[in-house]
Amino acid sequence: MRFYVTNRDTDPPMGSRGTWVNLLRDNWDDYGFKTSFHVKLYRDNGETIQLGMVKILRAGQIEFLLT
């Protein structure tokens, strides 16, 4: 299964075959880190399922905003 990370205002990658997941970035800020994603599952039969939100912090992520 393939995973794609896109911005919320961007169309998902077209031409993907099989079942795949799109992680749409959210602007929510967790103490300086952007960790929230809306998750959509695209099935090989053309069905799209919204799975909700997840928080993912990548190993080594250094994004930090001073306020």
Q: Domain-by-domain residue ranges, the chain?
A: 2-55
CA 9 vs CA 17, 27, 45: distances in Å:
22, 12, 24
What is the spatial distance between Cα 23 and Cα 50, in angstroms, rounded to a whole number? 10
Q: Under a CB-based contact definition with an 8 Å cutoff, are residues 30 and 12 in contact?
A: no
pTM of the model: 0.75
- Give residue-wise pLDDT tens across range 17-56: 789 999 998 887 777 778 899 999 999 898 999 999 999 8
What one-character DSSP code corresponds to residue 6?
A: E
